């Protein structure tokens, strides 16, 4: 085809003559054969025309001329070289033109050969790596399970492994056998069925087994075989998926039973507290608890799944748990732990605020390990709508008036009672300047919602606070609860640590007394107070603090006869109580020296005569508020 195309092009364009074609093709017969095979009409016409012209030329020329013009194509190439010699007076330009034509034709042949090689390579590659080849059939088929293959009632016939696995995963519930588990625990029945548990399934293992059992009908030597023909022949076989319950799911169900059945024992306790009433406490009986044997129940449920049974009734083992505190314990151990009183020298508004705050705290019940908050009881003491009035407070280092002033005496009175009741002190702050209504270092300032007094009940029994203002200006606080036999009473002590130009510090202690002797002491922390031109050193010794009152350590919940009339009327008191109150109201803080006493008296006088204002401050920061 290539030679024919070249000759056809030559006849159309008359690039070279026949003699030059002889040199290219090798001999004249080859040229004639190519011409004969050519389907070019133009070539056929030209061939006839040229044949007649050649006959005419032969008749016109002499033999010598013929010898010069005709070339024996069978001669060696040297003889044929005469063809390129210019004839009939031709110039060398024709020779150069002929050489140029030869270069063009040779380049065309080279390009044609390269194209043939490329096409041949592409064909060979496709024949060697065609997907329809025998090699591809050997390695790239898709396995499918035989028609009629069933696994636990689920058909996977003609499915690939991935498709079969997906189908079986979607039908997991079909692989569970119906189960009924009834658990009787402490008189209560709890039911479970097969769907209440979680399982693992041997789907992968079963599919591998089926595949290994299959034989294939695919003819790997048949080039026309398709992937769908690689199907196993054991189509009538049936296989079973096994569901195995997980340990975690059994444990979870046992925990559910525990949450339903287990019950903590409830200690006997005070169900109602009526402060200052003739019968303060109403008691509730103890309640027993119950706890199942979780290990035994787990073993029984596991054993049921290991068996072939489909139904079981389990009697859960368990034990009753008795309460630690019985009602007789409560009645005998709830006693009055501490009683502490202070006298208000504040304004009427300040004393009013004390009364409002103590009413809010009165009747507090503090459960074991519970933390009690003064601010939580009183609510927002900066609001008049809560019953609080303008009174003396410390603001920006000055004594001014603000809503809720005077509450610090309420919190300080409760604080001193809590110390003697052996409560844990969770939060407490001292004033900017030392107060005179309690020993120095034993005050407790508050400022809602920031500074607070927080107390914790460290015992296994409840604790109770009763508090009020009586006789017009006497603050009294009693705390009831369990008293440890390790000590007889608790007292307080304080000592001056250091004194500077602008401040001084005092440390206070809680001291435990047993059989008249100190057996232990606990530091209550260091309090630092400011010194200025209006406020000098104030040190009120805590030893033999007269504000600490004797308590009724009897286990009887009935109050003393002299207090009963006070209980009913709220403000009314017996003559004996009024006498005690009157005596208390006359008590003054014990000065350490006459100078200190003078400074304390000056401060008290200032507190009573300051005009009302609204701002307040924390004692620990001159820029904050503190209710004095």
Per the model's pLDDT, the better-predicted residue between 98 and 312 turns out to be: 312
pLDDT reported for residue 199: 97
Q: How many CA atoms lie within 13 A of 469 on its CB side?
A: 22
Nearest CA-CA partner of 495 in 517, 526, 516, 529: 526
Report the distance separating Cα 312 and Cα 138, nearest Å.
55
395 bridge partner residues: 398, 625
Q: Of 17-31, 131-145, 244-258, 468-482, which gets the smallest average pLDDT?
A: 17-31
Lowest model confidence (mean pLDDT) among 235-244, 453-462, 555-564: 555-564
Q: Collapse the DSSP code of 393 into the 3-class scheme (helix H, G, I; strand E, B; otherwise coil) and give the result.
A: strand
In sequence order, which residues have a C-beta less than 8 Å from that of residue 472 and are 6 or more positions away?
Answer: 351
Measured between alpha carbons, how far is residue 136 from residues 124, 131, 225, 443 in Å? 16, 5, 10, 96
356-368 CB burial, b ≥16 within 10 A, e <16: bbbbbbbbbbbeb
Give the per-residue pLDDT at 558.
44
Q: What is the mean pLDDT of residues 45-74?
A: 48
CA distance 92 to 327: 142
Q: Is the pLDDT of residue 418 over 80?
A: yes
Interval 546-552 mean pLDDT: 91
pLDDT at 69: 44
> Is residue 453 a contact partner of residue 428, using CB atoms and an 8 Å limit?
yes
Q: What percent of the chain has pLDDT over 90?
A: 58
Residue 260 pLDDT: 96
550-602 pLDDT, tens digit per residue, is 987 776 544 444 343 333 333 333 333 433 433 443 343 333 333 333 333 33
Instruction: Give the pLDDT of residue 21.
Output: 58
Closest listed residue to residue 621, CA positions, set 349, 396, 410, 436: 396
Rounded to a whole number of angstroms, the CA Rg of the chain reads 58
What's residue 116's pLDDT? 75
Confidence class for position 426, pLDDT limits 50, 70, 90: very high
CB count in 10 Å sphere of residue 548:
21
Bridge partner list, 37: none
Pure H helices in 460-612? 561-569, 575-586, 594-609
Q: Which pairs count as long-range contacts for 218-221, CB under 8 Å and 24+ apart, including other chains?
A: 218/137, 218/141, 220/134, 220/137, 220/138, 220/141, 221/134, 221/137
Residue 321 forms beta bridges with which residues?
Answer: 289
pLDDT band at 248 (very low <50, low <70, confident <90, very high): very high
CA dihedral 460, 466, 467, 468 (to 10 degrees): 170
Q: Return the higher-pLDDT residue of 327 and 16.
A: 327
CA distance 153 to 106: 76
Contact yes or no for 468/357 (Cβ under 8 A): no
Please say if the pLDDT value at position 397 is more than 90.
no
pLDDT tens digits along 277-333: 999 999 999 999 999 999 999 999 999 999 989 999 999 999 999 999 999 999 999
Burial class, 294, CB count within 10 angstroms (exposed 0-12 / middle 13-18 / buried 19+): middle
- Cα 606–611–615 angle (5° rounding)? 100
Mean pLDDT of 242-263: 97
Domain boundaries, the chain: 2-127, 150-261, 329-627
Joined together, the tokens standing for residue 279 give 């019968």
Q: Looking up tokens 């306790």, which residue turns up?
A: 269
Give dist(CA 331, CA 480) in Å, integer. Answer: 12
Contact 144, 158 (CB under 8 A): yes
The stretches of 171-246 forming alpha helices (DSSP H) are 203-213
Instruction: Average the pLDDT over 392-399 and give the result.
Output: 75
**What residues form DSSP beta bridges with 192?**
181
- The 10 Å Cβ neighbour count of residue 515 is 7
The pLDDT value given to residue 5: 55
- Least Cα distance to 361 among 524, 483, 478 occurs for 478
> Which pLDDT does position 553 carry in this prediction?
72
Residue 394: per-residue pLDDT = 74
The pTM (predicted TM-score) of the whole model is 0.61
Chain centroid to Cα 128, Å, comes to 59
CA 345 – CA 601 distance, rounded (Å):
11
Q: From 285, 457, 453, 290, select the one nearest 366 (Cα to Cα).
A: 457
Pairing of strands 625-627, 364-366: unpaired
Tens digit of each residue's pLDDT (9 = 90 or more) over 181-220: 999 999 999 999 999 999 999 999 999 999 888 654 433 3
Check pLDDT > 80 for residue 44: no
The tokens describing 264, both together, are 């903590």
Is 151 exposed, middle or buried, given 0-12, 13-18 or 19+ CB atoms closer than 10 A? buried
Give me 551's structure tokens.
Answer: 């308590």
The CA–CA distances, whole Å, from 294 to 64, 303, 304, 321 equal 132, 14, 16, 15
d(CA 268, CA 282): 11
Q: What is the pLDDT of residue 109?
A: 83
- Average pLDDT value for residue range 231-235: 48
Name the 3-class secondary structure at 437: coil
Within 10 A of 202 (CB to CB), how many other CB atoms are there? 15
Q: Count the helix, strand and coil residues of the chain and give each as a percent rounded to the nearest 5.
A: 40, 25, 35
Question: What is the length of the chain?
Answer: 628
Sign of CA dihedral 568, 572, 575, 579: positive
Query: Which of 118 and 66 is assigned the larger pLDDT?
Result: 118
- Which residue, 340, 350, 397, is CA-closest to 529? 397
Once rounded to an integer, what is the mean pLDDT over residues 348-355?
97
pLDDT category at 105 given cuts 50, 70, 90 is confident
- Compute the average pLDDT of residues 99-123: 75
Q: What is the pLDDT of residue 626?
A: 53
User: What pLDDT sits at residue 112?
Assistant: 78
Q: What whole-number distance in Å separates Cα of residue 277 and Cα of residue 59?
A: 164
Q: What rounded mean pLDDT belongs to the chain? A: 78
Highest mean pLDDT among 5-14, 75-84, 272-281 belongs to 272-281
pLDDT over threshold 70, residue 123: no
Q: How far apart are the first and last CA of the chain?
A: 121
Strands 180-185 and 188-193, by their bridges, are: antiparallel
Quick check: 132 pLDDT over 50? no
């Amino acid at each position: 085809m290539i030679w024919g195309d070249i000759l056809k092009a030559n006849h159309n364009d008359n690039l070279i003559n026949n003699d030059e074609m002889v040199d290219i093709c090798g001999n004249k017969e080859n040229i004639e054969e190519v011409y004969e095979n050519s389907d070019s009409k133009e070539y056929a016409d030209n061939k006839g025309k040229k044949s007649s012209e050649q006959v005419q030329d032969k008749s016109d020329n002499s033999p010598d001329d013929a010898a010069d013009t005709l070339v024996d194509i069978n001669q060696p190439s040297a003889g044929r070289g005469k063809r390129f010699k210019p004839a009939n007076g031709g110039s060398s330009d024709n020779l150069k033109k002929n050489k140029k034509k030869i270069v063009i034709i040779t380049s065309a042949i080279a390009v044609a050969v390269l194209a043939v090689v490329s096409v041949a390579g592409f064909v060979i590659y496709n024949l060697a790596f065609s997907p329809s080849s025998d090699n591809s059939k050997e390695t790239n088929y898709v396995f499918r399970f035989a028609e009629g293959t069933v696994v636990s009632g689920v058909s996977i016939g003609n499915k690939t492994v991935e498709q079969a696995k997906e189908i079986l995963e979607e039908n997991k519930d079909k692989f569970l056998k119906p189960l009924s588990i009834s658990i009787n625990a402490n008189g209560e029945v709890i039911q479970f069925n097969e769907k209440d548990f979680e399982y693992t399934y041997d789907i992968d293992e079963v599919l591998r087994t089926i595949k290994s059992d299959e034989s294939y009908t695919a003819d790997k030597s048949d080039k026309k075989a398709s992937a769908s023909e690689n199907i196993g022949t054991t189509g009538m076989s049936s296989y079973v998926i096994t569901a195995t319950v997980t340990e975690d799911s059994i444990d979870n169900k046992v925990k559910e039973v525990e949450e339903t059945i287990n019950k903590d024992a409830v200690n006997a306790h005070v169900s109602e507290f009526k402060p200052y009433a003739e019968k303060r406490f109403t008691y509730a009986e103890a309640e027993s608890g119950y706890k199942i044997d979780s290990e035994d129940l787990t073993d029984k449920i596991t054993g049921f799944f290991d068996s072939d049974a489909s139904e079981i009734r389990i009697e859960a083992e368990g034990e009753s748990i008795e309460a630690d505190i019985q009602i007789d314990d409560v009645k005998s151990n709830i006693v009055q732990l501490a009683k502490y009183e202070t006298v208000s020298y504040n304004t009427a508004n300040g004393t009013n605020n004390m009364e409002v705050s103590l009413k809010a705290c009165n009747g507090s019940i503090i459960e074991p390990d519970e933390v009690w908050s003064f601010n939580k009881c009183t609510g927002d003491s900066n609001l008049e709508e809560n019953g609080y009035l303008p009174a003396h407070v410390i603001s920006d280092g000055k004594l001014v008036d603000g809503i809720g002033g005077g509450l610090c005496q309420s919190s300080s009175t409760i604080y001193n009672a809590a110390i003697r009741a052996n409560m844990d002190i969770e939060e407490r702050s001292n004033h900017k300047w030392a107060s005179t209504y309690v020993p120095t270092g034993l005050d407790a300032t508050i400022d809602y919602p920031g500074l607070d007094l927080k107390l914790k009940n460290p015992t296994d029994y409840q604790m109770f606070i009763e508090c009020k203002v009586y006789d017009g200006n006497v603050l009294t606080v009693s705390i009831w609860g369990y008293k440890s036999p390790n000590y007889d009473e608790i007292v307080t002590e304080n000592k001056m640590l250091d004194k500077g130009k602008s401040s001084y510090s005092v440390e206070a202690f809680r001291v435990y007394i047993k059989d008249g002797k100190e057996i232990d002491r606990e530091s209550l922390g260091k309090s630092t107070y400011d010194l200025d031109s209006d406020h000098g050193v104030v040190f009120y010794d805590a030893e033999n603090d007269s504000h600490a009152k004797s308590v009724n350590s009897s286990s009887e919940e009935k109050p003393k006869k002299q207090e009963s009339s006070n209980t009913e009327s709220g403000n009314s008191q017996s003559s004996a109580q009024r006498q005690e109150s009157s005596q208390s109201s006359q008590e003054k803080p014990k000065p350490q020296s006459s100078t200190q006493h003078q400074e304390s008296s000056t401060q008290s006088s200032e507190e009573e005569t300051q005009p009302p204002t609204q701002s307040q401050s924390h004692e620990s920061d001159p820029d904050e508020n503190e209710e004095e």
